[in-house]
Structure 1
Amino acid sequence: MADELSSRGDYDYLIVGAGFAGSVLAERLAAGLGKRVLLIDRRPHIGGNAYDQLDDHGILVHRYGPHIFHTNAPRIVEYLSRFTAWRPYEHRVLAEVDGQRVPIPINRTTLNRLYGLELDEQQAGAFLAARAEPVAKIRTSEDVVVSQIGRELYEKFFRGYTRKQWGLDPAQLDRSVTARVPTRTDDDDRYFTDSFQQMPLHGYTRMFERMLDHPNIEVRLSTDLRQLDQQVRYRQMVYTGPIDEYFGHCYGPLPYRSLRFRHETLDREQLQPVAVVNYPDEQVPWTRITEYKHLTGQRHAKTSVTYEYPCAEGEPYYPIPRPENAALYKRYQELADAIPRVTFLGRLGTYRYYNMDQVVGQALALYQRIEAAEPAPRRAAGSGRAARTRRRPSCPGK
């Protein structure tokens, strides 16, 4: 596949990044429009952060922490189902609080266990309402939680975990961070309530392999855009890496949180009753422990787990949602809008936290716009050299 494409010379599209955004778009352009696509990634594997692999003991693990697929969008399920069968899985999470493991999001079971009560659903609602503290204007993540469940439960479940995860107090973060986690008065202990909750039957990497198995797609791994062969020519670029990196951080780096992972295999069949246990206590250095066999359904005499340690330095994982960061991104977006032959896509390219299904949806939406613009006059072969595009536009006043 790669040799055939290389011998033909030019590409219609260079796509930087082989995660969900880049891979979905590459497949659509190749299979839907017959475009010749060069897909590169500086990591030695496809799949981005969703990459999974068999560890040294033969247990399927997620290299970059747990990726749980869930969506309410049938068109996204229909698209991904071309490349994978599915395994039903509903995600459940426990939080270790006051020496107990209780469901998170907070529900009636959580309250009854923590406080030794026997509340029914109506009483649970009244219990939370009595503790909620009025907030005149909800601006921050702290405001969201305190206004719904009060300060005591906020301190037990959210403040420490958020400070570890983001390196900031919830009072310093946009309200969107904690608004993602609901509070329930019934016994529903599912982390998500989406209509579709399943995992790729044979893993994410196998799904990506099938997605990219097309004669019009060439994949080059361990390849950085800056080191790409100067003779590679293409007409359009789609960039899914960090937008600030593309422009040489000329306005300064966009803030991200990173993660450090400690992977262990234990000589026991199971460690914990659910896939993920959260640790809100700031005295515990990790935020959560993931046990993968719950996600995959794999049977094995041993079990593999991952401890997660959020950190400030390293691979960018989570854009930090604060108004000043959004303002800085907007400056980079204005530079990006001035480049007609480069499109920025994905979580890093648009500096926004997306779930996996949202990234797929964003890539499919971009493809639909490209498809709607066809047929368009084709530029002369080689009108855009990678070398020329890699000369980053400078920031005004720099």
Structure 2
Amino acid sequence: MSTSPSSPDFLVVGAGFAGSVCARQLADAGHRVLVIDKRPHIGGNAYDCLDEHGVLIHPYGPHIFHTNSKLVFEYLSRFTDWRFYEHRVLAKVGDQLLPIPINRTTLNKLYGLTLSEEEAQAYIERVREPRAPLKTSEDVVLNSVGSDLCEKFFRGYTRKQWGLDLSELSAGVAARIPTRTNDDDRYFSDSFQFMPAQGYTRMFEAMLDHPLISVQTGQDFESVREVYTSARLIYTGPIDSYFKQCFGPLPYRSLRFAHEHLDQDSSFQAVGTVNYPNDHAFTRITEFKHLTGQKAKGTSIVREYPQDEGDPYYPVPRPESEALFKRYEALAEQETQVTFVGRLAQYRYYNMDQIVAAALKASDDILKRP
């Protein structure tokens, strides 16, 4: 990564997936690119590093890569080798740890049953409470699994995660979680489920390692906003911040991460993540060595505490939030020299592969312009 060019063709704000992919695509096409990020590192929320005990951790919570897109997987494979990893999650309900998403094993252990797959399907069909139309997340969950499973697995978790009841959230939130009647206990069912073999940061370093790409970390956009006025802008930050919150701030939910190292050789928990839908103020605990496969002394975990204040992580999916975003989006469409791409710029809860796909498309669109 070279020093800062005096007159880049493109200024990319944000060195996460959206910004880094755009930067690499534009540099590969022969353009000089300056990437800035207000944090002291690249990689955005996917940044990983060794903690003081030598364990590879994700400071901003677990990032598990999964995709059905061969295009996205092959693109990222240019910059990393992979470690096969299928994420599994358990939920603590009472004294039991049960597979989530709900599957046949969940039902049998929870209720002391011996259902076959067909019987599990019939059970779900019997307890579900049909709702139409599906306007809220409560509608989605009740329509899918009924009230008892809703209370045990979803309502409390949602209240902690969003500070809102299921009935106050748009339907799309709960639609992300499937229900199964077989014994598949994988959290994701995507075709490609891998982790970067040397970690995410190493992958970002390789992506940004190009003679036409310069990177400045610890650099806030506002401090250079009027410096590179001739450069075309790729903006991946919060869209409301770009417009100085002229319509008011878009609502986000944030997280506080409580990292802990345990001086023990055995695993802290049986799987990568355990959810706590009904107990404690935190939503889940993740143990990183499950994700990374690292062999190191001791083990490191993180607890996640959702909160209103702090870095913006999750757009709050409510109709009024979307209406406010649409006002900012209308302003963005008038900015002919700016491309808005990524979670914060598009006010969408994208998975990592979706951000890569959006950045590849945005780059292609830019390069097609005269």
Normalised by the length of structure 1, the TM-score is 0.91
Q: Is the contact between residue 89 and residue 187 of structure 2 (CA under 8 Å) also seen in structure 1?
A: yes
Q: Is the contact between residue 318 and residue 353 of structure 1 (CA under 8 Å) also seen in structure 2?
A: yes
2:369 is the alignment partner of 1:366: no
2:149 is the alignment partner of 1:146: no
Aligned to 1:89: 85
* 1:24 aligned residue (21, 25, 33): 21
Cα deviation for residue 229 of structure 1 reads 7.8
Aligned to 1:277: 274
CA distance in 2, matches of 1:358, 1:231: 31
Q: Percent identity?
A: 60
SS at match of 1:339: coil
2:244 is the alignment partner of 1:248: yes
2:334 is the alignment partner of 1:316: no
- What is the CA deviation profile of residues 43-79 of structure 1, one whole-angstrom value per residue up to 9, with x for unaligned ones? 0000000000000000000010000000000111111
Q: Is the contact between residue 339 and residue 362 of structure 2 (CA under 8 Å) also seen in structure 1?
A: no
The structure 1 segments of at least 4 consecutive aligned residues displaced by more than 4 Å after TM superposition are none
- What is the CA deviation profile of residues 59-115 of structure 1, one whole-angstrom value per residue up to 9, with x for unaligned ones? 000010000000000111111000000000001000000210000000000011011
Aligned to 1:299: 295
1:350 corresponds to which letter in structure 2?
Answer: Q
Task: Rate the CA distance shift 1:334–1:233 in 2: closer, same or farther, 3 A.
Answer: closer
- What is the CA deviation profile of residues 306-338 of structure 1, one whole-angstrom value per residue up to 9, with x for unaligned ones? 000000000000001111110100000111111
Q: Report matched runs for 1:79-158 at 5 Å.
A: 79-158=75-154
Q: Is the contact between residue 108 and residue 115 of structure 2 (CA under 8 Å) also seen in structure 1?
A: yes
Q: Report matched runs for 1:220-235 at 5 Å.
A: 220-228=216-224, 231-235=227-231
Q: Is the contact between residue 69 and residue 197 of structure 1 (CA under 8 Å) also seen in structure 2?
A: yes
* 2:8 aligned residue (11, 23, 39): 11
Aligned to 1:338: 334
Deviates more, 1:198-207 or 1:127-136: 127-136
Q: Is the contact between residue 14 and residue 234 of structure 1 (CA under 8 Å) also seen in structure 2?
A: no
CA distance in 2, matches of 1:46, 1:14: 15
CA distance in 2, matches of 1:136, 1:205: 45
Q: Is the contact between residue 108 and residue 185 of structure 1 (CA under 8 Å) also seen in structure 2?
A: yes
Cα deviation for residue 234 of structure 1 reads 3.5
- What is the CA deviation profile of residues 317-376 of structure 1, one whole-angstrom value per residue up to 9, with x for unaligned ones? 000111111010000011111111111110000101100000000000011112222xx3
1:83 corresponds to which letter in structure 2?
Answer: F
Aligned to 2:56: 60
Q: How many residues align?
A: 369
| Larger Cα-atom Rg | 1
Q: Is the contact between residue 10 and residue 233 of structure 1 (CA under 8 Å) also seen in structure 2?
A: no
Q: Is the contact between residue 278 and residue 287 of structure 1 (CA under 8 Å) also seen in structure 2?
A: yes
CA distance in 1, matches of 2:228, 2:234: 15
CA distance in 2, matches of 1:10, 1:159: 52
- What is the CA deviation profile of residues 128-177 of structure 1, one whole-angstrom value per residue up to 9, with x for unaligned ones? 11111121321100000101111000000000000100110010001111
Aligned to 1:395: none
2:356 corresponds to which letter in structure 1?
Answer: V
SS at match of 1:150: helix
SS at match of 1:146: helix
Aligned to 2:2: 2
Cα deviation for residue 218 of structure 1 reads 0.6
2:2 corresponds to which letter in structure 1?
Answer: A
CA distance in 1, matches of 2:222, 2:230: 15
Q: Is the contact between residue 159 and residue 170 of structure 1 (CA under 8 Å) also seen in structure 2?
A: yes
CA distance in 2, matches of 1:343, 1:132: 44
Task: Rate the CA distance shift 1:117–1:229 in 2: closer, same or farther, 3 A.
Answer: closer
SS at match of 1:308: strand
1:197 corresponds to which letter in structure 2?
Answer: Q
1:291 corresponds to which letter in structure 2?
Answer: E
- What is the CA deviation profile of residues 173-199 of structure 1, one whole-angstrom value per residue up to 9, with x for unaligned ones? 011111110100000000000000000
SS at match of 1:259: strand
RMSD: 1.1
Aligned to 1:387: none
Cα deviation for residue 26 of structure 1 reads 0.2
CA distance in 2, matches of 1:44, 1:152: 46
SS at match of 2:97: strand
SS at match of 1:11: coil
SS at match of 2:9: strand
CA distance in 1, matches of 2:367, 2:9: 14
Structure 1: state its 5+ residue gaps: 377-398
CA distance in 1, matches of 2:203, 2:362: 21
Q: Report matched runs for 1:65-76 at 5 Å.
A: 65-76=61-72
CA distance in 2, matches of 1:220, 1:255: 28
- What is the CA deviation profile of residues 2-38 of structure 1, one whole-angstrom value per residue up to 9, with x for unaligned ones? 33x53xx21100010000000000011001x110001
Structure 2: state its 5+ residue gaps: none
